[in-house]
Amino acid sequence: MIPKKSKFGNKKVVIDDYKFDSKAEAAYYVMLRDRGYSFMPVAGKYVAMQKFIPIQSAVTLKNGEKIQAVRYKADFVFYDGLNIEKVVDVKGYQDSESKLKMKMFAKEYGYPVTFAKYDHRKGTFEEMSCFESLRRQNQQAKERREKKAVQNEEIARNNDESDVLNQETANSSKDSQNATDEILEPNKEMEEIEEEEELVKETEVESPEVDLGEDDPY
């Protein structure tokens, strides 16, 4: 059986019999564990992992049709008794579904989800609101688009310069050919003149002379 891949292609990680969707989530768990956080609900304050929390209640329409509740699966939920104090998602990117759920969560609970971005080189986390994370994501996307546009302009400019160079080379070759033709054309005319003169000489040699001397009786 082929194991199911996570949404963003991350590899599953198991630590302390807990299964995590990515190495970053596992690293965040280890950080909390080493700081003394409890993961058991019997404690007054504890952290629940992979917790489904409602972000829109179920409703029944006037025609009797029922709409199911919308739930959001959070990576880490910080509880103080029955109250949720903080929700953390270990993410680096928000897709359209995530963006919508972040807005719905903020509307329902009055505060945003905290995003924890993992620096793999340093082994540390930077926490920020989901909306600040999205602002940075959009800014980076804008910078990539602008960089790509500059690269495309550079490629187009290089292509134009190459076309101009090729045209100049073609024109130069054509001018050289025309110059060569101009040099060869007089030579050809001289050859034709010499051939005509040679033909005249041959004709003069072959034609007999007629003697019209004074002794002719007639």
List the domain range (segments joined by +) for residue 24.
13-95+102-143
Instruction: Flag whether 166 is in a domain.
Output: no
pLDDT (0 to 100) of residue 185 = 60
pLDDT in tens, 93-137: 899 999 999 999 999 999 999 999 999 899 999 999 999 999 999
Rounded Cα distance, 133 and 98, in Å: 12
pLDDT (0 to 100) of residue 206 = 52
Instruction: Flag whether 204 is in a domain.
Output: no
Beta-sheet strand order (sheet of 124-129): 45-56, 70-80, 83-89, 114-119, 124-129
Evaluated on CA atoms 130, 136, 139, 144, the torsion sign reads negative
Instruction: Flag whether 58 is in a domain.
Output: yes
Rounded Cα distance, 60 and 68, in Å: 9
pLDDT (0 to 100) of residue 179 = 64
Distance of CA 126 to the CA centre of its chain: 26
pLDDT cut 70: percent of the chain above it: 75
pLDDT (0 to 100) of residue 166 = 81
- CB within 8 Å of 57: residues ≥ 6 apart: 69
Instruction: Flag whether 179 is in a domain.
Output: no
pLDDT (0 to 100) of residue 171 = 77
pLDDT in tens, 51-83: 999 999 899 999 999 999 999 999 999 999 989
Instruction: Flag whether 170 is in a domain.
Output: no
Instruction: Flag whether 54 is in a domain.
Output: yes
Q: Are 131 and 102 in contact (CB under 8 A)?
A: yes
**Hey, which of 68-77, 91-100, 161-170, 186-195 has the most confident mean pLDDT?**
68-77
- CB within 8 Å of 104: residues ≥ 6 apart: 55, 56, 70, 72
pLDDT (0 to 100) of residue 212 = 47
Instruction: Flag whether 69 is in a domain.
Output: yes
Provide the domain count of the chain. Answer: 1
Q: Are 160 and 143 in contact (CB under 8 A)?
A: no
Q: How many CB atoms lie within 10 A of CB 29?
A: 22
Instruction: Flag whether 178 is in a domain.
Output: no
3-state DSSP of 137-195: HHHHHHHHHHHHHHHHHHHHHHHHHHHHHHHHHHHHHHHHHHHHHHHHHHHHHHHHHHH
Q: Is the pTM of this model over 0.85?
A: no
Helices of type H across the chain:
23-34, 96-109, 130-206
